[in-house]
């Protein structure tokens, strides 16, 4: 237990808002206390950020000079992998094996955008006007807002901070209220790496207070948000009123498809990882399972065997597969969905309960759960549960499958399991999803754009697009001759 300062305009001090507490989901113990940011703190952070990004020393910094800071950040993260992974596990309860991966992912993201900002080129269009050279270049937006979720803080935060800084902006980061630890530690790492004061502020607090005020602020020139669809819809309205860009990575109800020729072992293991890793608390979790009727029985038998063998336990225990959910309130929500599924006619094949182990009684644990007997119209199949709950449904033909898989307001991700790569590619073209995995699931590359269709979001993170999303394009016309415009003769 310790008291934490927050990072406002390059200074560490207590926030002017209410007291927040960070709890360890495995047993409810207190990680830290801190004072949230106040609206006055927000005004200060934005004012300092506005001056910082306009300062000639930063505005005129060459790409390799910005890249050097990001390389320092990556080096520091890699040197502290175990320490940061433990901090991340304390923050949201994910097992160490997962948080180590997230920490290394954050380092890789910093390195990628360090390279990307050095390689980003403007454009030199083919001449269309005699004696006029035209070209375009990319410039920063200014002060930008990054609002992140609690399920993967260090990865989500770096996916916003790194490209925004590489592009030359000043970033105001509003982490999830439940998980402030990693955001504040990242601020310390950027500060140590030499980032000029004011270019990054971290303002913990309630989304309805700090997040909303940040989005509405007239000096904020972009909103980037990862989280629930309802909040994303609200922020899209705010951005539309201000006529500023918004990147929104929102909810999902992703279908996983097993065709009749799939490798049963490969599919079962991939499905298990895709829904139950992170305790199902992932926007891309493969929560709707469509299995061809010819392989439904063997696939389900193996999947149930694997699921029942998952080790539920303390995130710091080596070999733990599934840690606690983020808190007791969220666990109650997941339990309510399981009860709803049963009311809708679903049969719980495994899980569906709080673990009986008395050593887990103090945490917000929930068993990995598989349900069958529902159709795609059930609420359990249409609403995002954000927990370790999988609904399995057999299908007969491909047309039926595509219609069912696409019958969702969401379109974030999908998975296909088959030995026929040509058929898989044809199916991937018909699926309404921003990411389609074939014979794998929940793997990422920072060089590949990520985002959703439909109510799963707007815009893309990662890749060169993810850098340009934090910039605005300026076109320049340069007359190369001495011609005189005679219009006013």
R_g of the chain computed on alpha carbons: 24
Kindly give, in sequence order, each residue whose CB lies less than 8 Å from that of residue 93, ignoring residues fewer than 6 positions away.
24, 25, 26, 279, 315, 323, 324, 325, 326, 363, 364
> Six-digit token pair at 320?
């733990």
Count the Cβ atoms, other than its own, within 10 Å of residue 182: 30
Residues 423 and 94: their CA atoms lie apart, in Å, by 36
Strand partners, 363: none
**Which 3 state secondary structure label does DSSP give 391?**
strand
Give CA separation, 323 vs 166, 240, 302, in Å: 35, 39, 22
Helix, strand, coil distribution of the chain in percent, nearest 5: 40, 20, 35
Residues 209 and 376: their CA atoms lie apart, in Å, by 37
Angle at 305 between CA 311 and CA 269, to 5 degrees: 80
The answer to whether 37 and 17 have CB atoms below 8 angstroms apart is: yes
Burial class (CB in 10 A: 0-12, 13-18, 19+), 449: middle
Which entry of 157, 177, 185, 249 is annotated as an active-site residue? 249
Residues 286 and 400: their CA atoms lie apart, in Å, by 19
Active site residue 249: yes
Give CA separation, 375 vs 16, 295, 301, 351, 386, in Å: 50, 18, 20, 20, 19
Helix (H) or strand (E) holding 201: strand 200-202
Burial class (CB in 10 A: 0-12, 13-18, 19+), 206: middle
The answer to whether 38 and 17 have CB atoms below 8 angstroms apart is: yes
Residues 303 and 309: their CA atoms lie apart, in Å, by 10
Catalytic residues: 249
């Amino acid at each position: 237990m310790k008291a934490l300062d927050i990072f406002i305009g390059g200074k560490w001090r207590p926030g002017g808002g209410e007291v927040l507490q960070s709890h360890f989901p495995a047993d409810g113990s207190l990680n830290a206390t801190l004072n949230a940011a106040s609206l006055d703190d927000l005004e200060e952070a934005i004012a300092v950020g506005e001056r910082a990004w306009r300062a000639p020393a930063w505005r005129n910094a060459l790409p390799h000079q910005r890249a050097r800071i990001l390389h320092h950040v990556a080096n520091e993260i890699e040197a502290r992998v175990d320490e940061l992974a433990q901090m991340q596990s304390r923050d949201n309860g994910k097992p160490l094996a997962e948080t180590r991966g997230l920490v290394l992912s954050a380092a890789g993201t910093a390195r990628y955008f360090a390279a990307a900002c050095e390689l980003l080129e403007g454009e030199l269009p083919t001449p269309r006007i005699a004696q006029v050279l035209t070209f375009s270049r990319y410039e920063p937006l200014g002060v930008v807002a990054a609002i992140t979720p609690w399920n993967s803080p260090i990865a989500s935060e770096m996916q916003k901070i790194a490209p925004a800084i590489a592009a030359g902006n000043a970033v105001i980061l509003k982490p999830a209220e439940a998980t402030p630890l990693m955001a504040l530690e990242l601020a310390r790492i950027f500060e140590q790496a030499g980032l000029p004061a004011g270019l990054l502020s971290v303002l913990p607090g309630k989304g309805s207070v700090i997040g909303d005020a940040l989005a509405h602020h007239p000096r904020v020139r972009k909103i980037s948000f990862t989280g629930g669809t309802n909040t994303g819809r609200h922020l899209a309205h705010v951005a539309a009123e201000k006529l500023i860009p918004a990147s929104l990575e929102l909810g999902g109800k992703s279908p996983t498809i097993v065709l009749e020729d799939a490798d049963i072992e490969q599919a079962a293991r991939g499905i298990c990882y895709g829904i139950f890793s992170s305790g199902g608390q992932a926007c891309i979790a493969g929560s709707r399972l469509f299995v061809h009727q010819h392989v439904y029985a063997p696939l389900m038998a193996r999947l149930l065997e694997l699921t029942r063998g998952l080790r539920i336990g303390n995130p710091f225990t080596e070999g733990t597969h599934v840690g606690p959910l983020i808190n007791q309130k969220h666990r109650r929500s997941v339990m309510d969905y399981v009860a709803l599924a049963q009311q809708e006619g679903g049969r719980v094949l495994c899980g569906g309960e709080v673990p009986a182990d008395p050593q887990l009684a103090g945490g917000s644990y929930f068993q990995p759960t598989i349900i069958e007997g529902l159709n795609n119209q059930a609420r359990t199949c249409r609403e995002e549960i954000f927990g370790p709950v999988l609904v399995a449904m057999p299908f007969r033909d491909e047309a039926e499958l595509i219609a069912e898989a696409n019958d969702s307001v969401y379109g974030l991700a999908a998975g296909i399991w088959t030995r026929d790569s040509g058929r898989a590619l044809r199916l991937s073209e018909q699926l309404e999803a921003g990411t389609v995995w074939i014979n794998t699931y929940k793997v990422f590359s920072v060089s590949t754009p990520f985002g959703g269709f439909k109510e799963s979001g707007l815009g893309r993170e990662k890749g060169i697009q993810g850098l340009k999303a934090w910039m605005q394009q300026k076109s320049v016309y340069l007359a190369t001759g001495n011609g005189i415009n005679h219009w006013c003769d």
